[in-house]
Amino acid sequence: MKPVIGITSYNVKSYEMGTDRVRGLEGQDMLMTTHDYIKSVSLAGGIPIVIPVINDAAYIQEIVEIADGFLFTGGSDITPYYYNEAPVSGLEKTNPERDEFELRLIKSVLEKDKPLLGICRGLQLINCYFKGSLYQDMRGERFHSINHTTRALPKHMINHSIKIEKDSKIWKIFNEESIEVNSFHHQCVDKLADCLTVTAASSDGIIEAIENTSYSFVVGVQWHPEMMIDHYPNQLKIFDYFINYVNSRK
């Protein structure tokens, strides 16, 4: 049987969709994740299952038993409370319900040492879980040579290059010193958690990939490879490597 990969999501409240909503009925909340994640996992040979936000200990334990690996996806800003900071100017919408649920899910995943891949917010969440912190709005910091937040480009479009550290999982995936990536984030790692290692970075110093070698597979990437696979097939290598690794542990 193919490996089952749990993909995180978030609940979109009815009021967030306004009065001119195109799906569901008034008063209905919706489960949301982008299909790019589902497609990438499927193409790489996994069975994608989307995980609803249900902040219940028994439910979380059951999900961790069912799935063979976990993909923590992108989304809203992480609530600063979870990395011991007060909100600053530039912080965008947060989802504390999702934050709390996913931090509890990470804990349970790591207790079972099941493979974990984080993308964009997922990388940031891994860092917060291990007691690191974030720039709440990097646009107000020292990062100005590259626009990491632009919405002017198509989702797959290359934004900048990153340098990859040898002897890392990202190096094993691409076997290249540098690759080109897209970029759709306004938050990034500030203080890196002590147990994490930087495995790729952009020219302006943004941490673009991390891993924790104390576990079998804990990897985070800041860009969105799932958005690039149709135009840059090499980006599927991340999912191929992840799924193959998960499969090898079954």
107 pLDDT tier (thresholds 50, 70, 90): very high
Q: What is the pLDDT of residue 16?
A: 84
Catalytic residue check, 224? yes
Position with higher pLDDT, 157 vs 193: 193
In SS3 terms, the chain reads as: CCCEEEEECEEECHHHHCCCCCCCCCCCCEEECCHHHHHHHHHCCCEEEEECCCCCHHHHHHHHHHCCEEEECCCCECCHHHHCCCCCCCCCCECHHHHHHHHHHHHHHHHCCCCEEEECHHHHHHHHHCCCCEECCHHHCCCCCCCCCCCCCCCCCCCEEEEECCCCHHHHHHCCCEEEECCCCCCEECCCCCCCEEEEEECCCCEEEEECCCCCCEEEECCCHHHCCCCCHHHHHHHHHHHHHHHHCC
* Range from 42-56, 71-85, 139-153, 181-195 carrying the lowest mean pLDDT: 139-153
Amino acid at the residue 28: Q
Which residue among the candidates 102, 111, 226, 231 is catalytic per the annotation?
A: 226
Average pLDDT over residues 183-211: 96
Handedness of CA 187, 208, 233, 52 (dihedral sign): negative
Which CATH number applies to 4-248? 3.40.50.880
Average pLDDT over residues 175-197: 96
Where do the structural domains in the chain lie, given as residue ranges?
4-248
C-alpha atoms less than 13 angstroms from C-alpha of 228 in its C-beta half-sphere = 22
Which residue among the candidates 102, 120, 148, 188 is catalytic per the annotation?
A: 120
Average pLDDT over residues 181-186: 94
Average pLDDT over residues 13-31: 87
Average pLDDT over residues 13-23: 85
Tell me the per-residue pLDDT of 90-105, one tens digit each, with 9 for 90 and over. Answer: 999 999 999 999 999 9
Q: Find the radius of gyration of the CA atoms of the chain.
A: 17
Catalytic residue check, 211? no
Is residue 27 over pLDDT 80?
yes
The token pair that represents 83 in the structure block: 């990395």
Q: What is the pLDDT of residue 208?
A: 98
Average pLDDT of the chain, as a whole number: 94
Calpha distance 103→7 (Å, rounded): 14
Tell me the per-residue pLDDT of 110-150, one tens digit each, with 9 for 90 and over. Answer: 999 999 999 999 999 999 999 999 999 988 766 666 787 77
Tell me the per-residue pLDDT of 226-246, one tens digit each, with 9 for 90 and over. Answer: 999 999 999 999 999 999 999
Average pLDDT over residues 3-7: 98
Catalytic residue check, 226? yes
- pTM of the predicted structure, to 2 decimals: 0.96
The token pair that represents 109 in the structure block: 């995943």
190 pLDDT tier (thresholds 50, 70, 90): very high
Q: What is the pLDDT of residue 144?
A: 66
Which residue among the candidates 85, 141, 224, 231 is catalytic per the annotation?
A: 224
The answer to whether the beta carbons of residues 139 and 201 sit under 8 Å apart is no
The answer to whether the beta carbons of residues 171 and 121 sit under 8 Å apart is no
Calpha distance 1→247 (Å, rounded): 9
Calpha distance 180→191 (Å, rounded): 25
* Range from 66-70, 164-168, 202-206, 214-218 carrying the lowest mean pLDDT: 202-206
The token pair that represents 187 in the structure block: 């938050």
